[in-house]
Structure 1
């Protein structure tokens, strides 16, 4: 349910109130288990949307539109050994990511209980300078905003789409669906909704199948990645991007993306909106009516028809994705 008051958008979802105040640029959540950090540079188009974290993970911080998500499984003291290791591993992440042909890097440093694990990644085709800048600014933001949080991740979208995550426990190969954050474009679809849903659902099925198919370079960011477009009408296109972390199994990647698409598709408040972003620790999904993140979008309309639903890993029953 949305209530718009002047320049403030209020979203009520599962009993949680999340408020965006565009003039003060603050996000505030009225739940004790959810704390949302001050926002940086939010344009008016994005301010109409809202991110929400509805799973209880102790305390969690969200910074939008970059969606920095921080949560606790153990609190550390700023400037202690864990914090020093965190700062060190994140400081090397930009150069280590861009040194890899696949623009993906995983590492860990320190001894228990102060060992820290970190990963960084940029989407395929990213400019090396822009990739490095994205990783650097995101790492800096995580250090500043998540001052005593042992776990955090982010999927910033500018100047390219990149990913940074750190934790005091190893997460490689682990499917982590939560904490989840989402941002929905406030504008409604202006074309025929029935046609929009038909085209969008066909695109989503194709993309989940394509993105969750492992390729010959499993450690590269182009493993479990796809960016596609489909014509909505002669004057408008749907653009979508899906990315899983390369360490997942194919089935886990498919699960993560399916849950993210379902989150948009099944929400009555938002499934007629022109765009959405869903962030999870293990995958990213975005759909808009315009290009973004300097991604190269491939048109699925010129490809072969999708396989029969019984042969696909994903299919839609009554508007819902299922196995």
Structure 2
């Protein structure tokens, strides 16, 4: 196989692999839907819920920010909902995840008034109670990687996980997006990756409190672990499980060109201004001199021609 054919084959393989990854369904993690409150089909609550879910999954939703809330109905039949996407994913991945989860609610939690569905890419939650701007540490779930940290490294690894995750929690709580992801050196050839996120409607203190509770529940004797509750989530791994390029702080935008005003009279100017001030008058004078010379020369030539013709005439 020629080098060009090999390159084309690798390009097609990479394209198909990326397309498959792009088109696959969101990764399910966990769901919570207690049976304590239910609704009947064709009820007012059912109609309000359909309206709410349609709003969350519409094309006008805030997928670029990764977070949106909605309410529908009034009184005991009102429903409040939200979605939260991981901010290292693109708005398109967020949109597809929310649309998928909205459809999945009827399968996993049929006829239930309170529902939370967790996926890697997004979370969707709704309730017959007001859940907005309210800290909730219910519905917690812990997951972990099956591989253990060696006994001799447990304390060192635990300290690294906690310090890294607590730094991330502090940064996330101070951020309007309530999100942070970072990495730290574990060994010469391996990094620790951590990610934390709260729903952006929480206050700084509520977000920090939620994350700290979650971080303290992480199974730090494993090489990876995750803790999720309604209002926040925390996760660490020994591999890059998030998109590093998507969360890297972009370089500052270049400053616009500065318009420098001309110097005030008497203060002098730049060398270019000085050159223009000297050269332009000289050119004008030279052009005037050339114009005058041409005019006088032409007039003199005309006079000379006329005089010569007169001198050569035969006079009787």
TMscore range, shorter length? 0.5 to 0.7
Higher mean C-alpha deviation, range 86-95 or range 206-215 = 86-95
Q: How does 1:1-323 map to 2 (within 5 A)?
A: 65-95=28-58, 98-99=61-62, 101-157=64-120, 161-190=121-150, 192-215=153-176, 223-264=177-218, 270-294=219-243, 296=245
Task: For residue 291 of structure 1, give the secondary structure of its aligned residue in structure 2.
Answer: coil
SS at match of 1:113: helix
Q: Distance in 1 between matches of 2:35 and 2:99?
A: 23
SS in structure 2 of the partner of residue 71 of structure 1: coil
Question: Aligned pair in 2 of structure 1 residues 207, 286: CA closer, same or farther (>3 Å)?
Answer: same
Q: Which has the higher helix share?
A: 2
| Change in 2 beyond 3 A, CA 1:297/1:187 | farther
TM-score normalised by L of structure 1: 0.63
Cα distance 1:214–1:129, how it changes in 2: closer, same or farther (>3 A)?
A: closer
- How far apart are 1:210 and its partner, in Å? 0.8
Residues in 2 aligned to 1:97 and 1:180: alpha-carbon distance in whole angstroms: 31
Moved more, 201-210 or 98-107: 98-107
Name the CA distance, whole Å, in 2 between partners of 1:133 and 1:174. Answer: 27
CA contact (8 A) 1:98 1:128 kept: no
Equivalent position SS for 2:45: helix
Task: Please tell me the root mean square deviation across aligned C-alpha atoms, in Å.
Answer: 2.3
**Contact kept in structure 2, 1:182 and 1:277, CA below 8 Å:** yes
Count of equivalent residues:
221
Q: 1:136 and 1:293 mapped to 2: Cα distance?
A: 21
User: In structure 1, how many angstroms separate the alpha carbons of the residues matched to 2:60 and 2:84?
Assistant: 6
Task: Say whether the 8 Å CA contact 2:161–2:236 is kept in structure 1.
Answer: no
Measured at CA, do residues 181 and 125 of structure 1 come closer, stay the same or move farther in structure 2, by a change above 3 Å? closer
CA 1:293 to 1:90, structure 2 compared with 1: closer, same or farther past 3 Å? farther
The DSSP-based 3-state class of the residue aligned with 2:162 is: helix
Where does residue 19 of structure 1 map in the other structure?
none
Report the 3-state secondary structure (helix = DSSP H, G, I; strand = E; otherwise coil) of the residue aligned with 1:192: helix
Deviations 1:101-154 (A, max 9, x none): 423211111222211111112233532221111111111112221112211112
Instruction: List gaps (5 residues or longer) in structure 1.
Output: 1-63, 216-222, 265-269, 300-323
Paired with 2:165 and 2:88, the residues of 1 have a C-alpha distance of 22
Q: Which has the higher strand share?
A: 1
Tell me the distance in 2 between the aligned counterparts of 1:181 and 1:116: 24
C-alpha change, 1:127 and 1:101, in structure 2 (3 Å) is: closer
Q: CA contact under 8 A between 1:85 and 1:115: conserved in structure 2?
A: yes
Q: Rg bigger for which structure?
A: 2
Q: Structure 2: where are the runs of 5+ without partners?
A: 1-26, 249-316
